[in-house]
Amino acid sequence: MKSVVISGSGLFTPSQVITNEELVASYNQYVDLYNAEQADAIAAGEMPALEHSSCEFIEKASGIKARYVLYKDGILNPAVMRPVFDRRSEDQMPEMVEMALHAAREAMAQANKTAGDIDLIICAASNMQRPYPALSIELQQQLGATGYAFDMNVACSSATFAISNAVNAIRGGTAKVVLVVNPEFASPQVNYRSRDSHFIFGDVCTATIIEAEDSCTSNNAFRIKGMSLKTEFSNNIRCDVGYTEHCLPVDPQVPFFKQQGRKVFKELLPIVADVILTEMAVQQVAPEQLKRLWLHQANINMNIFAAKKILGRDPLPEEAPLVLDTYANTASAGSVIAFHKYKQGISSGEHAILCSFGAGYSVGCLILQKC
């Protein structure tokens, strides 16, 4: 079987930051206005008063301190509470393609690849800004690449599932060098009026270059030694927005991400641990051989729990790096950000794990070995 590597990675980080303090202040202003407006109904017991959000809760429950967003202003305005931006015209790149272009260029430079080398582009993310033409095909044109391109979505596992598709395309002979991009433009899907979820997501884009080991000239490449993917249906992380929306009665909750966070926590972790430990056994990689765990970044407590299950002890911070504090949950990009920022200091032959987990449920585990 052909040996395939990740030969480069790239990251686009938006320039605008929202701290917990800013987010909570705007949410609490919204709550005060709402409770004042509904004072009579609340006093009559017809509806409950809304409660304030708190920075202490957010940091303790999730590990999130801030998030990057493409459009900050509308989000923090208690009368708006959504990112405000115009639909771009047909001759302008949509945000997701623009983000992907930046991340792609960094990944290509790391991998010593030009657009002429890339013959497959996969755009994999939790949301697509439009169904067609595929965003990946517009990116292909922007880069000046040839071959073919397609979009795909497995929510938080979009990146790992796309890397697995890339490996299979290379092994099957339909591609030689694959660019995978994960533009997670998450903020439009966040309900900033929901105390339970207003703090969870940030915007970002990651990119990776996947190619056969024999064509790789990068000095920081990782062999994809094992891959294991698993899905199991659950309604506990869900978004119902779709192309039929305009035919249906308007439901103000539909466009938003929603989840049963506690249930996700309880149900998903055993699946994650099982997928990772089984693949480690298949690849004959023992816990003490693992130099790093680049895990999905949804919740600090979840990451520590998963790392403990894998290593059989508490992880050192550098063994299971977190980017949640500054990036928040960035859906499929999270584990790739951790990989991109913390892939130094691993010697040839040493092993590491890149693993996503989230909606679906879906789990994607890659066992990597430094070339």
Residues with a known catalytic role: 156
d(CA 64, CA 79): 24
Stretch near ligand CO8 under the rule CB under 6 A, chosen from 33-41, 159-167, 259-267, 276-284: 259-267
Q: Minimum distance between the CB of residue 163 and ligand CO8, rounded to whole angstroms? A: 17
Q: Which residue has the tokens 């105390």?
A: 195
d(CA 297, CA 355): 10
Q: Minimum distance between the CB of residue 292 and ligand CO8, rounded to whole angstroms? A: 21
Establish if 331 lies at the interface with ligand CO8 (CB under 6 A). yes
The Cα diameter of the chain in Å comes to 73
DSSP 289: G
* 3 state DSSP class of 364: strand
Residue 71 C-beta-side C-alpha neighbours within 13 Å: 19
Q: Minimum distance between the CB of residue 88 and ligand CO8, rounded to whole angstroms? A: 20
Rounded to 5 degrees, φ, ψ at 358 are 175, -145
Chosen residue from 120, 190, 320, 353 binding ligand CO8 by CB under 6 A? 190
Query: Nearest to residue 313, comparing CAs of 288, 296, 291?
Result: 288
DSSP 299: -
Chosen residue from 83, 183, 358, 364 binding ligand CO8 by CB under 6 A? 358
Q: Minimum distance between the CB of residue 10 and ligand CO8, rounded to whole angstroms? A: 21
Establish if 342 lies at the interface with ligand CO8 (CB under 6 A). no
Chosen residue from 44, 262, 317, 347 binding ligand CO8 by CB under 6 A? 262
Nearer to ligand CO8, 222 or 357 (CB): 357
- Token reading at 36: 């004042």
Give the Cβ contact number of residue 51 at 10 Å: 10
Nearer to ligand CO8, 8 or 364 (CB): 364
Query: Contact residues for ligand CO8 (CB under 6 A)?
Result: 53-54, 57-58, 61-62, 126, 155-156, 186, 189-190, 195-196, 199, 201, 237, 257, 259, 261-262, 264-265, 298-299, 302, 329, 331, 358-359
